Structure 1
Amino acid sequence: MLHKYDVRDKVSEEDSKVLIAALAPHPEGDEKIGSGIAGFSVRTADYGTKCFWVNRTDGTSEKFAHRACVCGNVRPS
């Protein structure tokens, strides 16, 4: 899913539903969600890579490792 988006793209509503469900098993899911989810976007991450960012209802945002959502034991971002 990540690869179909370019940096600075907003994630579609349909894909956002998948990402919301994916955050549930993330080791820091509650912290990543924070005040609530307004949407998702794709931005740059460490070392020039790109990743999903959760955009919160309070205007803040946080990147998250989609691998941690699946594996649960990957170092979270």
Structure 2
Amino acid sequence: MAKSNGNYHVNGEEFATKDALTKRVRQIRDKYLGNKILNETDAAFIRDLLTHHTEAAEKAGIGLKHFTVEKNRDGTDSFYITRTDGSRDDFSFKTCITNIRRM
């Protein structure tokens, strides 16, 4: 078994700190301001990050179709999930980062 290096891992990327991970997520978010659909590479990263959300199964629902960045009801730029059945929900990437564990 490989020895743990104590870093955070998301979709094959490695981060020494939660701040570094937060910076990467914000870079992705900021590329898609204005209701743009995330490309395949960025969507894969966000999909993996979502697995660390406390309500990941509920957020994913029946299945994920795509992610966008939109203003939530508080006016904050947020990631939104569009499910395969057309239903939608937002989620906090900060909740995901709070719950991620070092590997």
Using structure 2 for the length normalisation, give the TM-score.
Answer: 0.66
- Write the distance in 2 (CA, Å) between the matches of 1:47 and 1:62: 14
2:61 corresponds to 1:34: yes
- Write the distance in 1 (CA, Å) between the matches of 2:81 and 2:46: 9
2:90 corresponds to 1:60: no
- Write the distance in 2 (CA, Å) between the matches of 1:46 and 1:66: 16
2:76 corresponds to 1:49: yes
Residue in 2 that maps onto 1:69: 96
Matched pairs, number: 72
Following TM superposition, by how much is the alpha carbon of 1:47 offset from its aligned partner in structure 2, in angstroms? 2.5
RMSD of aligned alpha carbons? 0.9
Q: Which has the larger radius of gyration?
A: 2
Moved over 6 A (4+): none
- 5+ residue gaps, structure 1, are 73-77
Identity of aligned residues (%): 31
